[in-house]
Chains A and B, each alone.
Chain A
Amino acid sequence: MSSADVAVKSRGMRPTNLADPNYFHKVVDCQWACPAHTPVPEYIRLVAQGRYAQAYMLNWESNVFPGILGRTCDRPCEPACRRVRLEDKPVAICRLKRVAADYRGDISGLLPKIPKKKNGRRIALLGAGPASLTVARDLMPLGYKCVLFEKDARGGGLMRTNIPSFRLPERVLNEEVQMILDMGVEARFGHEVTSLREVLDEEFDAVFVGTGAPRGKDLNIPGREEAARNIHIGIDWLTSVAFEHTKKIGRRVVVIGGGNTAMDCCRSALRLGGKDVRVTVRSPRGDMKASDWEIEDAEREGIPIFDNHQPTEFIVENGKLKGVRFARMQAEYDSQGRRKLTPTGDEAVFECDDVLMAIGQDNAFTWIERDIGVEFGEWGMPAVDKITMMSTRPGVFFGGDAGWGPENIIWAVAHGHQAAISIDLHCSGQSLKSARPGPGTSLVSQKMGLHEWSYGNQYSEDARVAVPHADKRKSLKSLKVEVELGYDVKLALEEAERCLNCDVQTVFVRDLCIECDACVDICPVDCINFTPNGVEEDLRRRLRVPAENLSQDLYISEDLKTGRIMAKDEDLCLHCGLCAERCPTGAWDMQKFTYVERQANPAGQLHCMAYIK
């Protein structure tokens, strides 16, 4: 331990370094949790102000597919929302994004201009899913020529093939995919790449692999082969439904699996003629992989979920599927919380006409030759750099599910942005790491007058607003009827008011503080303290309400006149600004923190950058 460390240990915590862009970024829980770091509170304010086009563009620049994601995102932002810790239900961040898309109007004039004169670089993008499309969107405005290879007849990847149109209408998908293709991307649809070497032979300046995780897992239990005609791999079946090759299914359907694909399968089956559709999962219900809201949606449509059911046999009679036999399971957890599933000895048989299997996806890289410099590691996955997205062969990049295994759209977008930065640096001969641009940040006071702030600081006590649904009798009849109707303007405003504006930060100036305690007394959630310094563990215990959420930082000031420090637990701060309103000397101020993740193409970030002054 150095002498400086000893000094810190005896005196306590160091003052918070506000120059570190991550400090305030972390306070904006939703933005921090979003893989693409979308400025959530900013767009929610724009929605509240009725500036839908701006809200849309802010999203589009950051996550590329606001209309699609506003309906289908896995929303890592919502479990992170501060409201969850305060009162359980997060702000409906995802559905407010959809509002921006629904009401945006014509935004064609706001899109980046594509230079007529190209920079002479050609980039191959393999797979027309969200990752590749993001790379194209970031590189096209810089003058790159992008060539997109896609085995299907249309773009969108899993967004088209795996997400049923009652959740994501084709019109919305087409619009946002087309916006990128219209930049002048050379799309080779219906062109399946069977050899990476062949692509490389075309002498592209860089190749991006965004081919997803296209292979659905199979289940090799007795009867699988005999009943093959009525057993379908979930994602393949959904693709076939999307392209209208499959138009009906048997009356009784058993879906095997507990993830989001299983939920899409069962709901699609219901619309294609299934009358008795049931979902079976081998694990307990609480361990299901599907998002809570997707499970809710399936159950609302009357689909029962049987948990602790492990399939053991496809029962075949006269060469035809008759049903599925299950072993009933029970879960036991050891002291480390590891789960062990053991059969109870009971069995169940569900008779059925068709089975849909949605038990996971794998990557498939049989088309990548193993002697071209692209190395593979564990699980047959390519060795890819986590920051640059580059494989072991310079100039070949991976992203989305192809790079990191099955995740979701928003992760694919985040990877796409990073890959585009790398490709741009690679093509101009710069270092992918040391020349990588850092985030842009700014911190601006929101004080407008004596008691006026530029944001709505009233705390809304309203419960989360439910999204209206289409009439079930109507929506269950067709794959094309969108179930969720989305918020109207009034509901959107109500929900937007629930946002706490966590990006409007409480900024403390030590030299102005007279230690009058006004802020301590007025804080509704008791997060401000004036106390002797100490080591973090001790300090956290001593606060007005002990700071037990270790994932949330303490904001520590320099020493005050009385020798104490100001220590604020960021965990539950409402960002209501009452501390700043009550402060007689202006030692507290509410300042908007803007954090923008840089992209390959700063010109494409006009709207994001407009908020950084």
Chain B
Amino acid sequence: MTFMKKPNVRHPGLRKNELGLTRRDYEGLLSTLCAGCGHDSISAAIIEACFEMDLPAHRLAKLSGIGCSSKTPTYFLNQSHGFNSVHGRMPSIATGANLANRDLIYLGVSGDGDTASIGLGQFCHAMRRRVNMIYIVENNGTYGLTKGQFSATSDRVSKSKKGEANLFEAIDLCTLAIHLGAGFVARGFSGDKEGLVPLIKAAFHYKGFAFLDIVSPCVTFNDHAASTKSYDYVRAHNEAMDRLDLVPEREEIIAQAEEGKTVTVRMHDGSLMRLHKLDDTYDPRDSESALTTLRKRYSKGQVVTGLLYIDDEDADLHTLLNTTAQPLNAVPMSDLCPGNAQLAKINKSLR
């Protein structure tokens, strides 16, 4: 980490977005992570994405659990809401917050320990319920805060920094997410911001559970030659499935897509997502095809990145529950609580 605060002074030529804000206005406090941590790059990518989307920071709530990754919401979007929950319990907080106020955008930031170990159950149920949120796992395959033990996403072929073998199979979070009903599943790499920023933006536009597994090298414990989550390994084995273009609602599509190579998806908010497939053997709208591709590539030691699966038709939790369009926290108490007489009536009907 650095101890010196990043000075407030900015480049006078810094671009401004529609809100008149610069990228710097989306920053947070000084990061206390190790210098070179992939998580800091992900924070920067989130900042970039929010800036480019002209997002008003007060419209967003950052939620996290415990771990290196879960510290990061402090380092971006200083003007947003935030909740730092108990280890692995962020999905419950997100579900509750989302039910209470459906108008906010929920961004969950978690790590491989917080999600794939202690919080695995919570993670699964948030997906099942299709909570409308963006769920990012900053996946470094190691427990950095406790000195570099293997995590549940550490590949079996990977070794520790000191050379110990990993005895157990890895949990592939993307596979799990497709199985359990996440409607948007993507994998990114912290060292490839050009690929990552569009994925984050697309996840923001998706209505439903948008899952982003981001490989994020731990420079202190897991960036060595025998690691499968090092900068070098991921760069050498990165198989990008597609490149994303996000066309905001207000802009017309001019160029015609090349048949078979490009998939156009209309998002719930009206914007269009253009997916330029780099591998035309699979279809990201077909979960079977996505799962097969993931499994096959994984067995070859490849790290598949890009938008892996999208379901643009499924409904989110609020739609399924048929809740009122008005956020529940804005419904007056008199409507929210019909009173004793009503309660007695309901109770009576159940006897």
Interface residue ranges, A against B (CB under 8 Å): 85-87, 451, 457-459, 461, 514-518, 520-522, 524-527, 545-546, 548, 561-562, 572, 574, 576-578, 581-585
**B75: nearest chain-A partner, CB-CB:** A521
Give A508 Cβ to nearest chain B Cβ, in Å.
Answer: 15
Asked if A457 contacts B41 (CB within 8 A), the reply is no
The reply to whether A458 and B4 form a contact with Cβ atoms under 8 Å apart is yes
Q: Which residue of A lies closest to B8 (CB)?
A: A461
Q: How far is the CA of A461 from the CA of B8 in the complex (A)?
A: 8
User: Does B226 sit at the interface, judged by CB under 8 A?
Assistant: no
Whether B193 and A461, one on each chain, are in contact in the complex, defined by CB atoms closer than 8 angstroms, is: no
Tell me whether B15 is interfacial, beta carbon within 8 Å: yes
Q: Which of B30-38, B121-129, B131-139, B143-151 faces chain A?
A: B30-38
Q: Across the interface, which residues of B come within 8 angstroms of A561, CB to CB?
A: 232, 235
B4 & A86 in contact (Cβ 8 Å cutoff) = no
Give the distance to chain B from A521, nearest Cβ to Cβ, in Å: 4
Contacts of A526 in B (CB 8 A): 10-11, 14, 23
B148 to A: closest C-beta gap in Å? 15
Tell me the bound Cα distance from A582 to B217 in angstroms: 15
Are A521 and B38 interface neighbours, CB within 8 A? Answer: no
Q: Can you list 16 A-B pairs with a CB-CB distance of less than 8 A?
A: A85-B12, A514-B219, A516-B36, A516-B190, A517-B44, A518-B35, A518-B40, A521-B43, A521-B44, A524-B7, A525-B10, A545-B11, A545-B15, A578-B4, A584-B34, A584-B37
Nearest-CB distance from B4 to chain A (Å)?
6
Chain B residues closer than 8 Å to A583, beta-carbon distance: 35-36
Cβ of B191 within 8 Å of any chain A Cβ, yes or no, is yes
Q: Are B38 and A516 in contact (CB under 8 A)?
A: yes
CA distance A390 to B120 in the complex (A): 83
Most buried by A among B11, B14, B23: B11
CB distance from B6 to the nearest CB of A (A): 5
Interface residues of B in 104-129 (CB under 8 A from A): none
The contact string, 1 if C-beta is below 8 Å from chain A, for chain B 234-254, is 010000000000000000000
Q: State whether A459 touches B7 (Cβ < 8 A).
A: yes
Contacts A581-B2, A583-B35 aside, 12 further interface pairs with beta carbons under 8 A come to: A457-B4, A459-B7, A461-B9, A514-B219, A517-B44, A518-B36, A524-B9, A525-B11, A526-B10, A526-B23, A545-B14, A584-B35
Contact status A562-B44, CB under 8 Å: no
B204, CB-defined interface residue at 8 Å: no
* Interface 1/0 per residue, B206-235 and A, CB below 8 Å: 000000000001010001000000011001
Contact of A520 among B8, B13, B44 (CB under 8 A): B44
Of the residues A525, A548, A582, contact of B2 by C-beta under 8 Å: A582
Contact at A86–B15, with CB atoms within 8 Å?
no
Min Cβ gap A500→B in Å is 10
> B2 to chain A: which residues have CB within 8 Å?
451, 522, 578, 581-582
Shortest Cβ distance from residue A397 to the other chain B in the assembled complex, whole angstroms: 45
Q: Which one of A459, A515, A582 has the greatest number of beta carbons of chain B within 10 Å?
A: A582
Q: Do residues A527 and B11 form an inter-chain contact, with CB atoms below 8 A? A: yes
Whether A582 contacts B9 by the Cβ 8 Å rule is no
Asked if A451 contacts B13 (CB within 8 A), the reply is no
CB distance from B135 to the nearest CB of A (A): 22
Contact B11 A584 (CB under 8 A): no
Which residues of chain B have C-beta atoms less than 8 A from A517's C-beta?
Answer: 41, 44, 190-191, 193
Closest beta carbon of chain B to A330's beta carbon, Å? 33
Q: How far is A562 from B231 in the complex, measured between Cα atoms in Å?
A: 11
Docked complex Cα distance between A520 and B12 (Å): 17
Q: How far is the CB of B91 from chain A (nearest CB, A)?
A: 28
Main secondary structure of the interface of B (DSSP, over half): loop
Chain B residues within an 8 Å CB radius of A581: 2, 4, 35
Q: What is the size category of the interface that chain B forms with chain A?
A: 20 to 34
Q: Which residue of B lies closest to A458 (CB)?
A: B4
Give the shortest distance, in Å, between A528 (CB) and chain B (any CB): 12
Name the contact of B219 in the complex, choosing from A86, A516, A527 (C-beta under 8 A). Answer: A516
A242 CA to B23 CA, complexed, in Å: 58
- Contact (Cβ within 8 A) B4 A521: no
Choose among B12, B44, B191, B219 the residue that contacts A515 (Cβ–Cβ < 8 A): B191
Cβ of B342 to closest chain A Cβ, rounded Å: 55
Cβ-neighbour of A546 out of B13, B193, B231 (below 8 A): B13
Smallest CB gap from A576: residue in B: B7
Q: Within the complex, what minimum Cβ distance (angstroms) separates A240 from chain B?
A: 49
Could you tell me the distance between the alpha carbons of A363 and B9 in the complex, rounded to whole angstroms?
47
**Residue among A459, A521, A574, A585 making CB contact with B41, cutoff 8 Å:** A521
Residues 34 to 63 of chain B near chain A (Cβ within 8 Å):
34-38, 40-41, 43-44
A524-B6, A562-B235 known; A582+B36 contact, CB < 8 A: yes
Given known A-B contacts A521-B44, A561-B235, A582 and B7 have beta carbons under 8 A apart: no
User: Are A86 and B12 neighbours in the complex by a CB distance under 8 Å?
Assistant: yes
Q: Which of B8, B10, B12, B191 contacts A516 (CB 8 A)?
A: B191
For the complex, give the distance between the alpha carbons of A85 and B15 in Å: 17
A458 to B3, CA, bound (A): 11
From residue A514, how far is it (CB to closest CB) to chain B in Å?
5
For B44, the chain A residues whose CB sits under 8 A away are 517, 520-521
**CA–CA, A152 and B326, complex, Å:** 92
Residues on A with C-beta less than 8 A from B11 are: 525-527, 545, 572
CB-based contact A514/B231 at 8 Å: yes
Q: Is there contact, CB below 8 Å, between A574 and B36?
A: no
Minimum distance in angstroms from A378 CB to a CB of chain B: 42
A524 neighbours in B (Cβ, 8 Å): 6-10
Residues of chain A within 8 A (CB-CB) of B36 are: 514, 516, 518, 582-585
* Bound-complex Cα distance A524 to B30 (A): 12
- C-alpha gap A548/B2 in the complex (Å): 30
Residue of A with least CB distance to B23: A526
The chain B residue with its CB closest to the CB of A584 is B36
- Note all chain A residues with C-beta closer than 8 A to B217: 516
Assess whether B13 is in contact with A545, with CB atoms less than 8 Å apart. Answer: yes
Residues of A near B12 (CB, < 8 A) are 85-86, 572
CB distance from B236 to the nearest CB of A (A): 9
B193 to chain A: closest residue by CB: A517
Residue of B nearest to A527 (CB): B11
Q: Is A451 a contact of B34 with CB atoms below 8 Å?
A: no
> CA–CA, A70 to B119, complex, Å?
67
Closest 5 CB pairs of A and B: A584-B36, A459-B7, A521-B44, A581-B2, A584-B219
* B219, A574: Cβ atoms closer than 8 Å: no
User: Which residue of the partner chain B has the closest CB to A518?
Assistant: B36
Q: Is the CB of A521 within 8 A of B223?
A: no
**Residues of chain B lying within 8 A (CB to CB) of residue A576:** 4, 7
Q: Output the residue of B12, B34, B38 with the most chain A CB within 10 A.
A: B12
In the bound assembly, the distance between CA atoms of A517 and B235 in angstroms comes to 14
B40 and A521 within 8 A (CB) = yes
B residues in contact with A458, CB < 8 Å = 4, 7
Query: Once the chains are docked, how many angstroms separate the CA of A518 from the CA of B35?
Result: 7
Residue on B nearest A569 in the bound complex, by CB: B11
If A582-B36, A583-B35, A584-B34 touch, whether A516 touches B231 (CB-CB below 8 Å) is: yes
| Assembled-state Cα–Cα distance A521/B45 (Å) | 9
